[in-house]
Structure 1
């Protein structure tokens, strides 16, 4: 079915995320992270409502205490604490009530403390699931505005992280089993411990804050992260590496966050750590907007910038129908996608260019969650570490053919892929920067012939990112790779790079004084935030061949 006007409008805003997320799903490198906003449509209470229910429970009797923390200008306390702190307060009241009613002697034994914790979890469980029968809840899961659209992604993803306690995702996977699966599997695996080992390589649902299934006895966590004390412990554990599995998941994969307010301190910490240590790995967060047309555009821009700079998050503003469409199009098979939607979603190709030692390969290594192409496909020839004038002239024709073959292989791979965001170390014009101007027409003809297989295949267009670097830093960086050229050779190369790429539309990033992380952060801004401006490299080679290229 052809795209509707609203879908086209969404694709105009989300074309880059769609291209990236579809490619990551195919590579089994896409993960989902769900929050409370997803469970709201099922009928589960939000955190404030759940706290209110707990406070009103006859075994807690904490309503009056809660009021004292919520009344402004109260002579007692003004609410300056988080909901987690209030929950800690309610548990304290509940614990004292238990000690008094059961006439327990203090200090309590470990078993007595554990019994009270279990009863507290049962109380939370009761208030969480109260108000809906099992049949009503299953009906709401089936009729959820967008959740079922994520089913195929969940099935194909390595881990789905769920910050909610409830078992909505598990129920959905259970209902989605086919006849064969019903005989052998639940259709999912649940984990709630930070260092859990998984048996399955997909359909794993991880609850970092704990798990309270609808049947309490069916795998309830030993504890849940619901109080200030528990959150602080979790944050400390994350800082000391206990949550290395979740951290590695964020580091290795591209994640799409749905229904999250980003208030969870552990998630904030993990996202920030990833943003600092792995700035090229951008994740996506859906921010719910009931009516995009009526939303505050300046507020959205501010939120977008904040999420990107602080957490490496690309914010997508959508309503429920938009979230459903996003999930559907990410999981869509190639044929219907290319028939109906591909014309609205760009395949983006970026070429990294610059002097030897400018940091191209190091920068590209920070973007393994894109489709990246190394400098050379085959084993590097040792002569490439030398300036061309220092290489045996008789070896140069063979080296030139070998280099052209590397670009032919990379171009073939680029042309074979119809989607995604691609980052290529070196562009097909790079060989010209190692040659004198009078040699470039002949070299361009040879490159064109070999890369295009005698004109049967086009050279892929792409956005040029030029890494500019000072002489001193080039010298130092090359020495670390055991390359030693003279200053005049470096200067000649810089001049020739400017001659070849200077007339082209390109983005120049100054790498002077910036380490690899800072450079990667600047490249990420170009790839994810700037307009995509591809140039026709094949036409440029033809112009150089004909002697009409303006330098």
Structure 2
């Protein structure tokens, strides 16, 4: 719930309000690093062959893949859809599209229900859930779409596999094979291998691509090795099995190598736990990784703030009496939020490299590589 007293205190003395949170923070010094200082540090990691790319959903968004909520919505549609009655089919489509909007169920609860449903209705299949996810995942993908500038630049790092300097490895939290297809889309032979289950290995001259939440390639038969982490029980298994292959890979890379996070947020509890474990194992408070993150949009923040003030006339009256410029408040709110996120990331040994637009990321990667 919105704290009006906190809001008014922020209006009345923004500088003291901000400083009271961060001046005594042990890690605050990283906020004073220049953008180029951070990029140069990643360059050094690349030159010393210690760089690992950690990729999240943001790297595949240009290809027409569904968002998390869209994926759950489409899977939910499969559970209520009637194959024989077109009228019911239309109704079920409406139900599926509006269910999340009206009731806003927990994504974990939805995923748990879906996992149980497909398992119950397909007792003879160990990968019924994964097959359904794959069908939905690639349903609207544009097969003729050219590779994004981001993946083209990531591919340039992969071409160097087996030579010096080179990328150590890629960790991805995505199920899709977008990165693998991108590596195959040029005439240069890029040696790589996707790893997505216990017991899978790569050869010395190959670049390993670790799908730590599972892997669902567009083609081929799915087996028990293609299990994905989507429902709550999958996350619980990862959380409790510290010595599981995916956890060990991440801990090893987070502890002994330097990672560049691209398209990743730090909201996953298991990721936060593994970063904490790696940091404690290192035993220092230094920055060992960086994350590329987009700055908050001032127009969107201002719109939300205006809506908030319009819904609470008392706050609007206080604002008018204080004679405060709304644009100044928006700038300070963004500054505050960025500091919160920097402070959170730094607690894991991760620094943030802020960009105004996602289109800047390929240029930063090119800067690092060249």
Q: Which residue of 2 aligns with 1:418?
A: none
Distance in 2 (CA, whole Å) between partners of 1:174 and 1:37 is 21
SS at the partner of 1:269?
helix
- Map 1:458-537 onto structure 2 (within 5 A): none
- Asked if the contact 1:24–1:254 (Cα under 8 Å) also holds between the matched residues in 2, the reply is yes
Distance in 2 (CA, whole Å) between partners of 1:147 and 1:65 is 33
Q: Which residue of 1 aligns with 2:112?
A: 88
Distance apart, 1:154 and its partner CA: 3.4
- Asked if the contact 1:59–1:94 (Cα under 8 Å) also holds between the matched residues in 2, the reply is no
Q: Which residue of 1 aligns with 2:232?
A: 228
Distance apart, 1:196 and its partner CA: 3.7
* CA RMSD between the two structures: 3.0
Q: Which residue of 1 aligns with 2:20?
A: none
Say if 1:177 and 1:160 are closer, same or farther in 2 by CA, change over 3 A: farther
Q: Which residue of 2 aligns with 1:15?
A: 36
Distance apart, 1:220 and its partner CA: 8.4
SS at the partner of 2:227?
coil
* TM-score of the superposed pair, with normalisation by structure 2: 0.69
Distance in 2 (CA, whole Å) between partners of 1:132 and 1:312 is 36
Distance apart, 1:119 and its partner CA: 2.5
Q: Which residue of 2 aligns with 1:382?
A: none
Distance apart, 1:161 and its partner CA: 0.6
- In the TM superposition, what whole-angstrom CA distance separates every residue of 1:8-52 from its partner, at most 9, and x where no partner exists? xxxx84222211111111111000000011111111111111000
Say if 1:210 and 1:316 are closer, same or farther in 2 by CA, change over 3 A: same
Say if 1:226 and 1:46 are closer, same or farther in 2 by CA, change over 3 A: same
1:326 aligns with 2:334: no
Q: Which residue of 2 aligns with 1:51?
A: 72
Say if 1:200 and 1:219 are closer, same or farther in 2 by CA, change over 3 A: farther
SS at the partner of 1:135?
coil
Distance in 2 (CA, whole Å) between partners of 1:91 and 1:288 is 33
- Asked if the contact 2:63–2:142 (Cα under 8 Å) also holds between the matched residues in 1, the reply is no
Specify which of 133, 136, 153 is matched with residue 127 of structure 1.
Answer: 136
Distance apart, 1:96 and its partner CA: 3.6
Q: Which residue of 2 aligns with 1:118?
A: 127
Distance in 1 (CA, whole Å) between partners of 2:48 and 2:196 is 25
Distance in 2 (CA, whole Å) between partners of 1:157 and 1:51 is 34
Distance in 1 (CA, whole Å) between partners of 2:292 and 2:298 is 13
1:205 aligns with 2:205: no
Distance in 2 (CA, whole Å) between partners of 1:220 and 1:285 is 33
Q: Which residue of 2 aligns with 1:541?
A: none
- Map 1:277-356 onto structure 2 (within 5 A): 277-278=281-282, 279=284, 280=286, 282-289=288-295, 296-309=334-347, 311-318=348-355, 319-332=357-370
1:261 aligns with 2:239: no
- Map 1:28-107 onto structure 2 (within 5 A): 28-57=49-78, 71=102, 79=105, 81=106, 83-98=107-122
SS at the partner of 1:285?
strand
Q: Which residue of 2 aligns with 1:380?
A: none
Q: Which residue of 2 aligns with 1:26?
A: 47
What runs of 5+ residues in structure 2 fail to find an aligned partner? 1-32, 83-91, 160-165, 300-329
Distance in 2 (CA, whole Å) between partners of 1:207 and 1:226 is 13
User: Highest relative contact order (Cα 8 Å, sep 6+), 1 or 2?
Assistant: 2
Specify which of 174, 177, 181 is matched with residue 167 of structure 1.
Answer: 177
| Corresponding pairs, count | 287
- Asked if the contact 2:293–2:353 (Cα under 8 Å) also holds between the matched residues in 1, the reply is yes
Say if 1:320 and 1:67 are closer, same or farther in 2 by CA, change over 3 A: closer
- Asked if the contact 1:32–1:160 (Cα under 8 Å) also holds between the matched residues in 2, the reply is yes
- Map 1:377-416 onto structure 2 (within 5 A): none
- In the TM superposition, what whole-angstrom CA distance separates every residue of 1:213-261 from its partner, at most 9, and x where no partner exists? 1214388843111110011101111267872232111111100001112
What runs of 5+ residues in structure 1 fail to find an aligned partner? 1-11, 73-77, 100-111, 333-551
SS at the partner of 1:224?
coil
SS at the partner of 1:206?
strand
- In the TM superposition, what whole-angstrom CA distance separates every residue of 1:316-349 from its partner, at most 9, and x where no partner exists? 11121221121010001xxxxxxxxxxxxxxxxx
SS at the partner of 2:359?
helix
Distance apart, 1:308 and its partner CA: 0.5
Distance in 2 (CA, whole Å) between partners of 1:275 and 1:35 is 21
- Asked if the contact 2:73–2:100 (Cα under 8 Å) also holds between the matched residues in 1, the reply is no
- Asked if the contact 1:158–1:202 (Cα under 8 Å) also holds between the matched residues in 2, the reply is no
- Asked if the contact 2:238–2:244 (Cα under 8 Å) also holds between the matched residues in 1, the reply is no
- Asked if the contact 1:195–1:245 (Cα under 8 Å) also holds between the matched residues in 2, the reply is no
- Asked if the contact 1:54–1:60 (Cα under 8 Å) also holds between the matched residues in 2, the reply is no
1:176 aligns with 2:186: yes
- Asked if the contact 1:32–1:154 (Cα under 8 Å) also holds between the matched residues in 2, the reply is no
Larger Rg: 1
- Asked if the contact 1:285–1:314 (Cα under 8 Å) also holds between the matched residues in 2, the reply is yes
* TM-score of the superposed pair, with normalisation by structure 1: 0.48
